[in-house]
């Protein structure tokens, strides 16, 4: 039986189907690359400079939160997005509630839960009217499960009522220079007069994390406390503590007005960074955003060894000799915390010519490192060995050689030599294992 010919229309269908499949496959291969940069905004800023104004190669965190920032322990802002806009902060409020309580009462002070505190809705520390507990226990209920009832109980016991305690919170905010922050309640429940900025929130976090009691509580993943003979188990609302190596705290928050919020901290290689996420779109995104910020921060802000005692710096001329010099080294290792976007690192070596004898370990100069016009570090340069000065007969021989060498333009002694370049090459960042 003769083979049937395909019609032009049928052939066109086959070609169209094949083309669509190829386009779909191509899109699946490359879509993640483009989508991964879906929310990098040109108004975002690295080291205070907007992305639109940056030149050369750079990368920026890809997060979806409307307001965010990351800073170092000393407050240096590494990356930011709209950090001065005043927005609701939800239960991030409880950082100030805890800090004010720690400043106002003893940790072992006994406190009684009122009926009004026990009746507060939302997230709970499972307190009941008439329960008694120490401030220390209530702080665990405040910060780990984010208990709104614990917040009111603390406020009432310290200041008499919630609004009197709120005044203490606002006084504390003024003392800390949180000029764009205002508190109207102790737990962050919906209120248009309870607001902060990313910038202020980072300042507050740095202060709070310097308190060892606060730090210990906010890094706790889960714990059991006993209140009125009842054992209560608290589990953290901060999922970053259980999913990110090095995470050290601090607080979650959510209301309809504030969206999903998170203040997060983590430590790697002796460096701690703080990230703030305000008004993220969903519960998981705030943790993804915070991890993205922290990973980026540790990639670009990290400890770097500038030099160690095994690296030869140069040679110092011994001017009493014709042809002697001694190799010199840094007196020890120098490790500093560097941020890539602060620019090149200059290293200036100064060596002094040396007359007479020289001893191993004797200082013969220095190295100074600077970045963006600011000195990063400095260290002495020392001799690597002992060398005696010439004896009487050697001295006479050297005088004679220099006399005749003068006729031949021979140098009277060796010159100093510097082995290091004027710029320190910062090594590439190694991803954390």
**Which residues is 10 bridged to in the sheet?**
none
**Which residues is 235 bridged to in the sheet?**
222
Question: Is 224 tagged catalytic?
Answer: no
C-alpha 187/C-alpha 4 separation (Å) is 78
Which residue has tokens 């086959």? 14
Out of 91, 114, 265, 285, which one is annotated catalytic?
A: 91
Length of the chain: 433
Which residue has tokens 């006993």? 226
Angle at 216 between CA 212 and CA 221, to 5 degrees: 165
Out of 146, 199, 265, 280, which one is annotated catalytic?
A: 146
3-state percent helix, strand, coil for the chain, nearest multiple of 5: 35, 30, 35
Give Dmax (Cα) for the chain.
Answer: 119
Question: Is 146 tagged catalytic?
Answer: yes
Out of 13, 19, 34, 94, which one is annotated catalytic?
A: 94
202: burial class by Cβ within 10 Å (0-12, 13-18, 19+)? buried
Question: Is 363 tagged catalytic?
Answer: no
- From the list 96, 46, 100, 41, the residue with the least C-alpha distance to 70 is 46
Question: CA-CA distances (angstroms) from residue 290 to 39, 155, 214, 280?
Answer: 14, 30, 20, 10
Q: Which residues of 287-303 are buried (b: 16+ CB within 10 A; e: fewer)?
A: bbbbbbbbbbbbebbbe
DSSP letters for 105-147: S-TT-EEE--HHHHT--SS-----TT-EEEHHHHHHHHHSS--
Active site residues: 91, 94, 146
């Amino acid at each position: 039986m003769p083979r049937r010919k395909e019609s032009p229309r049928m052939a066109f269908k086959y070609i169209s189907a094949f083309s669509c499949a190829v386009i779909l496959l191509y899109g699946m291969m490359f879509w993640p690359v483009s989508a991964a940069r879906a929310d990098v905004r040109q108004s975002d800023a690295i080291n205070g400079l907007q992305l639109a104004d940056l030149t050369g190669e750079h990368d920026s965190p890809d997060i979806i939160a409307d307001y965010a920032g990351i800073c170092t322990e000393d407050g240096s802002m590494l990356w930011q997005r709209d950090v001065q806009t005043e927005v609701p902060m939800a239960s991030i409020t409880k950082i100030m509630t805890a800090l004010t309580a720690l400043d106002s009462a003893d940790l072992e002070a006994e406190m009684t839960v009122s009926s009004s505190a026990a009746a507060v809705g939302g997230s709970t520390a499972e307190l009941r009217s008439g329960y008694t507990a120490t401030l220390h226990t209530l702080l665990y209920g405040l910060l780990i499960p984010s208990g709104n009832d614990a917040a009111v109980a603390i406020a009432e016991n310290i200041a008499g009522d919630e609004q009197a305690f709120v005044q203490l919170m606002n006084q504390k905010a003024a003392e800390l220079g949180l000029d764009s922050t205002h508190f109207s309640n102790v737990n962050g429940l919906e209120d248009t007069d309870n607001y902060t900025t990313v910038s202020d929130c980072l300042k507050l976090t740095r202060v709070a994390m310097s308190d060892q009691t606060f730090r210990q509580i906010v890094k706790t993943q889960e714990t059991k406390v006993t209140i009125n003979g009842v054992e209560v188990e608290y589990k953290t609302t901060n999922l970053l503590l259980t999913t990110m190596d090095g995470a050290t705290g601090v607080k979650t928050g959510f209301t309809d007005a504030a969206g999903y919020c998170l203040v997060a901290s983590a430590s790697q290689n002796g460096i701690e960074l703080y990230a703030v996420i305000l008004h993220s779109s969903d519960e998981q995104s705030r943790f993804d955003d915070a991890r993205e910020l922290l990973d980026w921060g540790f990639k670009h802000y990290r400890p770097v060894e500038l030099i160690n005692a095994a690296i030869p710096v140069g040679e110092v001329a011994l001017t009493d000799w014709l042809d002697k010099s001694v190799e010199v080294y840094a007196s020890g290792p120098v490790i500093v915390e560097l941020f890539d976007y602060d620019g090149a690192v200059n290293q200036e070596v100064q060596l002094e010519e040396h007359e007479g004898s020289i001893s191993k370990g004797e200082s013969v100069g220095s190295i100074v490192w600077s970045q963006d016009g600011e000195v990063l570090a400095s260290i002495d340069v020392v001799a690597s060995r002992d060398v005696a000065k010439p004896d009487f007969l050697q001295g006479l021989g050297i005088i004679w050689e220099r006399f005749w060498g003068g006729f031949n333009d021979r140098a009277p002694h060796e010159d100093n030599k510097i082995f290091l370049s004027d710029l320190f090459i910062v090594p590439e960042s190694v991803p954390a294992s």
